[in-house]
Amino acid sequence: MHSLKMPIWLTAFVAAVYAFLHIPLLVLVVFSFNESKYGVSWTGFTTHWYERLWERQDIIDGLKASVVVGVSSTVISTLLGTLMALAIARHEFRGRRLMEAFLYIPIVTPEIVVGISLLILFVLVNFPLGLMSVVIAHVAFNISFVVVVVLARLQGMDRNLEEAAMILGADELTTFWRITVPLLWPGILSGAMLAFTMSFDDYVITSFVTGTGASTLPIVVYTMVRKNIEPSINAISTIILVITSLLIFAADRLGRDKPLVKSEE
Amino acid sequence: MNPFALRQAALRWFHRHKETQAWALLAPGFGWLGVFFLAPLLIMFGYSFMPRGEYGGVEAGFTLEHYARFADPLYIKILWRTLLDSTVCTLICLVTGYPVAYVVARATKWRNFLMFLVILPFWTSFLVRTFAMIFLLRDTGLVNTLLINLGVIQEPIIMLYTPFAVMLGLVYGFVPFMVLPIYASLEKLDLSLLEAAEVLGARPAERFFRITLPLSMPGVVAGCLLVFIPALGSFLTSDLLGGAKEILIGNLVQNQFTTARNWPFGSAASFIVMALVLLAVMIYLRARDRGNELGAQ
C-alpha cells in the first residue's frame, strides 16, 4: 500500500539503532578470535583464548556452579510458577486480583533491592551463604516471570477441548493430564527456558547472596572485567552469548508454537 | 483402599473444596515469595529505622537519622542525578525505540526475525553487554583505534569513565524494553483508520500525530515505565562504565553493604529506590486508566 511506504530517513535511522544494538556484541565475538593480546588491531586468527579458558579452574568451577544453580532454580520456580498460574487462570478464589497484582511486584522491584533484602534475611537467621542461598534467591525472582509466561499460554488456550473431554466422560484428573498438560507444555518449557536464562545471567542479586564455593560464572566474569582486560573475557563472553541465544531462540519458537490440536474451521 | 476408590475420594474432596484447591496450588509459590521476597523487604524496612551496629548489622532502637541524612546536599545530589539520568535515558530510549517499533510493526517480510533481533539483547547477559561497551569505548578500544588510524584524531578521546559512557550504557541496555510494548500496541492498530484518514486528505505527518501516536500511547507509557524502573535501580552500568565519578543511588546502596558497612543507611537508601519505583508504577496505572477512559469515549 502506498501510504505505508517508509521514508528513507526512517529506515536508515532504524538500521542505525539495530547496528547500535548488535555491533558491540559482534565486535566482542570477532575479537575473541584475535591473536593479539593487546589493543584491537587484527593480527591473525586463533582459538588460543578458548583453550586458555579450560586451564582456568575458576571458570570451570563458575560454569559448574551456574549450571547447578540454573537447573535447580529453574525446576523449582517452573513447578511453583506453573501451579500458581493454574490457580489464577482456572479457579475463582477471594483475592485473585490482589494475587495477580502481587505477582508483578517482584518483576518491578530493582534487582539491587531484592539482593540486599535477601542478604539481610540470610544474615539475620544465620543462614550460610553458598549455593543454597543463591538457588533460593534465583527461585524468588524467577517465579513471577514463569507465572506470567504460563498464564499467557493458559489464557490463550481453547477451553472447548477440555470441556469436550469431560463430556466424553473423562474426569478432572484425566482431563488435566491428557489435555491441559500437553497443550500447556510449550508455555511451561518457554517459561523454564527464560527462568534458566535469567538465572544463568544474573550478576547483581547473586553478588549479594553468594558465599564461598558458590561463585557462578557471572561473578567470575565480573572479577575478570574488573581486574584485567584480556581476550579470555571476550572468549567466555562469546560462550555465554551462544548459550543464551540458543535458549532464547528455543523459548521464542516454543512460545509461538501453534496448539498441538488444531481446531477445524 | 484400592487406587480407583482413592482417586474417586480425592475427586469428591476437590469438588467440595474448590477454594481450598486453588490455595493448595498457590501455597508453595506464594509461601516462597512470602518468606524470600516479602519478608526480607519488611525486615529491610525495619532495619532502616534502627541504629547502626558496630560491625555491620543493626542495634536495637528507633531512629530517623538514616532518612534525615538524605537532606545532606551530597545525597540530594546523588538522588537528583539518579532521577535525571533515568529520565534522560527514558527519553533517549523513547526517541530511538519508537521508530524501531514503528518500522518493525509495518514490515511485511522478516517481521518475526526483526523482532527476534530486538528480543535477543533484551535477554543476553547485561554484564557481557556492558563489557562490550568497555571494549569499544576505552582509550585503546575499537572506536579510538579506528579514529586514530583514519587520522581523524591524534590522541584518544576519553570516553570510558565519563557520564557519556554511563548514559550510552544505560540506553544500550534498556532500548529493547521500550521497543517491545510499543511494538505490541502498534501491531494491534487498525490500518483502516489510516486509510480512512488518507482518503479524507490527511497528510502523512497529520496521520501519524493524530492517529498512530495517540493509539500507541499505552505502549509508550508502558515502555517508559519499563526503562525508567531498571534505570533507577541500576548500579552495574555506572559501576563499570562510570568509574568512581558517577555515583547513582544504586551504587550508594551497594557501598553501604560492602565497604561502608552501614546497613541501616543502605536499607533506607534502598527503600527510597523502592518508593520511587512504586510511585512510577502508580503514575503508570493512573495514566493507563485515563487512557482507557479516553479510549472508551
pLDDT of residue B294: 65
Residue A263 pLDDT grade (very low, low, confident, very high; cuts 50, 70, 90) = very low
Q: Are A32 and A231 in contact (CB under 8 A)?
A: yes
| Whether the predicted pLDDT of A265 surpasses 50 | no
Predicted complex ipTM: 0.87
For residue A66, pLDDT beyond 80: yes
In CATH terms, the fold of domain A53-256 is MetI-like fold (1.10.3720)
> Residues B247, B269: contact at Cβ < 8 Å?
no
Q: What residue ranges do the domains of chain A occupy?
A: 10-46, 53-256
Residue A260: per-residue pLDDT:
41
Separation of alpha carbons A200 and A218, rounded Å? 8
User: What are the chain A neighbours of B273 within 8 Å (beta carbons)?
Assistant: 110, 112-113
Backbone angles phi, psi at B71, to 5 degrees: -85, -15
Domain boundaries, chain B: 63-296
User: At which residue does the C-alpha cell 532518612 appear?
Assistant: B67
Note the pLDDT of residue B42.
96
Q: Which residue type, as a one-letter code, is found at position B5?
A: A
Window 221-280 of B: residues touching A by CB (8 A cutoff) are: 229-230, 232-236, 240, 250, 253-254, 257, 263, 266-267, 270, 273-274, 277
Nearest to B124 among A20, A84, A241 (CB): A241
Give me the CATH topology for the region B63-296.
MetI-like fold (1.10.3720)
CA distance B294 to chain A (A): 23
What pLDDT sits at residue B37?
A: 96
* Residue from B7, B36, B115, B191 to probe the interface with A (highest A Cβ count within 10 Å): B36
Backbone angles phi, psi at B225, to 5 degrees: -65, -45
Residue B210 and residue B94: Cα distance in Å, rounded?
A: 18
Residue B46 and residue A80: Cα distance in Å, rounded? 29
Residue B183's SS3 state is: helix
Q: What's the rounded Cα separation, in Å, for the pair B265 and B253?
A: 8
- Distance between CA atoms of A238 and B128, rounded to whole angstroms? 9
Confidence bin at B296 (pLDDT 50/70/90): low
Phi, psi of B56 (to 5 degrees): 80, 175
Contact B40 A21 (CB under 8 A): no
Angle, vertex CA A64, rays to CA A62 and CA A69, nearest 5 = 95
Which chain A residue has the Cα nearest residue B19?
A93
B133 to chain A: which residues are within 8 Å by CB?
24
CB contact under 8 A, B257 and A119: yes
Q: Taking CB atoms and an 8 Å limit, are A229 and B138 in contact across chains?
A: yes
Find the DSSP H helices in chain B: 3-16, 18-33, 39-47, 65-68, 73-106, 111-123, 126-137, 142-149, 163-187, 191-199, 204-207, 213-215, 217-233, 236-241, 249-257, 263-296
What is the Cα–Cα distance from B101 to B185, expressed in whole angstroms?
9
Q: For position B192, what pLDDT does the model report?
A: 84
Indicate the pLDDT class of residue B188, thresholds 50, 70 and 90: confident
CB–CB contact B250 A110 (8 Å): yes
**Of all residues in chain A, what percent carry a pLDDT higher than 90?**
43
Q: How confident is the model at residue A229 (pLDDT cuts 50, 70, 90)?
A: low
State the smallest CA–CA distance between residue A6 and chain B in angstroms.
7
B residues 70-89 lying closer than 8 A (beta carbon) to A: none
Give which of B114, B106, B111, B193 is closest to A6, Cα–Cα: B106
For A217, B123, B210, the CA distances from A200, given in Å and listed in that order, are 8, 11, 44
Question: Which tens digit of pLDDT belongs to each residue from B91-135?
Answer: 999 999 999 999 999 887 888 889 888 888 877 888 889 989 988
Q: In chain A, which residues have their Cβ closer than 8 Å to the Cβ of B230?
A: 110-111
Which residue type is seen at A264? Answer: E
Calculate how close chain A gets to B146, using CA atoms only, in Å: 9
| Chain Cα centroid distance, residue B118 | 16
Handedness of CA B216, B219, B225, B226 (dihedral sign): negative
> Which of B125, B229, B256 is best to mutate for the A interface (most A CBs within 10 A)?
B125
Question: How far, in Å, CA of B18 to CA of B15, rounded?
Answer: 6
Residues 150-209 of B with CB under 8 A from A: 172, 175-176, 191, 194-195, 198, 204, 207
List CB contacts (< 8 A) between A201 and chain B: 123-127
Q: Which of B126, B132, B267 comes nearest A24 by C-beta?
A: B132
Beta carbons of B145 and A143 less than 8 Å apart: no
Strand, coil or helix: A97? helix
The predicted pLDDT at position A10 comes to 92
What 8-state DSSP symbol labels residue A129? P
Record: contact B121-A110, CB cut-off 8 A: no
